[in-house]
Amino acid sequence: MVSEKTIAQVGEFALIDMVREALGTSDYVLIGPGDDAAHVATADGTYVTATDILIEGRHFRRDWSTAADIGRKAVAANLSDINAMGGVATALVVSFAAPGDLPVDWVRDLVDGMVRECTEVGAQIVGGDMSAADQIIISITAFGDAERPVTRSGAQVGDQVAFAGTLGLAAAGYGALSRGFRSPKVAVDEHRAPHPPYAAGPAAAAAGATAMIDVSDGLLADLGHVAKASGVAIDLDPEAFPILDAVRTVAGALGGVDPLRFVLTGGDDYALAATFGADVDLPEGWTRVGTVREGSGVTVAGAPFEGDPGHRHWT
């Protein structure tokens, strides 16, 4: 369906029909969208679940990202939380609210982007809700299976600290976009629709990771959550981080910013950070970047890193 109509013109029920047609199914889905609740199977009688809410103007901008990219990123943020428990997402429910003058085609592209990101892990959208609102709001809850859920609180003194995925690229893209640039494309694209390392979470759990978190507020801030929950300190080796060319390019274009700042404080790549016993061979895709110490807080080469302490709402 290609339509230049607004969602107010087609109405709620036609919009729901359109969304449902765009969804698929999977073996986990016993009862899918269209009833009071969905009915979903689990592999072992337990599930992991996480939720995220995205608000237009705060988490995404329609003039910076396509609807499909916004849909991909909204789903990625939730799949990443399941990934960070060492789990694999199987099902999602999506609530969507928007002003009535929103084009129907925008919603269709949003849903297409959501479905595309779901296929990265084989998950299915199994239900949702819609409402009118002054801003576009996307609220997603993801469910998954995790054989051995990895929390933030198990890091031990002497453990290796490692990451998987990319760091700093999305933040560099945001930095470029916020100053009116549309390049480097690889960075701008990563900000618009990140590529979380979906294989790395279950691999880390299988390898015995002691703690794990996804990097959404920035590596220093998120490792700070691990250090606090585990009652340990974490020291990072600044030489251990790969720095992508696009990150260097943006850092230079912004007047000589230290590119490591993007790597250590940038969110939105949905990388993973985890701790592993000292003797563990890190799984594929993981890079060692530090060590767990006695104490508290996160340091870089033994000293505090001056910079953004991570994103905060209402401040």
Q: How far is CA 307 from CA 83, 226, 257, 264, 271, in A?
A: 27, 19, 11, 9, 20
- The answer to the question of residue 61 lying near its own copies (CB under 8 A) is no
Q: Which stretch binds its own copies (CB under 8 A): 123-131, 168-176, 236-244, 283-291?
A: 123-131
Give alpha helix (H) positions in 59-161. Answer: 67-83, 104-119
Q: Which stretch binds its own copies (CB under 8 A): 8-16, 109-117, 165-173, 254-262?
A: 8-16
Q: Which stretch binds its own copies (CB under 8 A): 121-129, 166-174, 247-255, 275-283?
A: 121-129
CB of 200 to its own copies, least distance (A): 14
Site residues (CB under 8 A) for its own copies, limited to 243-302 = none
CB of 16 to its own copies, least distance (A): 10
CB proximity list for 139: less than 8 A, separation 6 or greater: 51, 52, 53, 54, 94, 95, 96
Helix 7-22 to helix 104-119 angle, to the nearest 10 degrees? 20
- The answer to the question of residue 51 lying near its own copies (CB under 8 A) is yes
CB nearer to its own copies: give 15 or 187: 15
Judged by CB under 8 A, how many residues of this single chain contact its own copies?
A: 72
- The answer to the question of residue 207 lying near its own copies (CB under 8 A) is no
Contact 125, 33 (CB under 8 A): yes
Collapsing DSSP states into helix, strand and coil, what is residue 132?
Answer: strand
- The answer to the question of residue 27 lying near its own copies (CB under 8 A) is no
- The answer to the question of residue 206 lying near its own copies (CB under 8 A) is no
d(CA 221, CA 2): 43
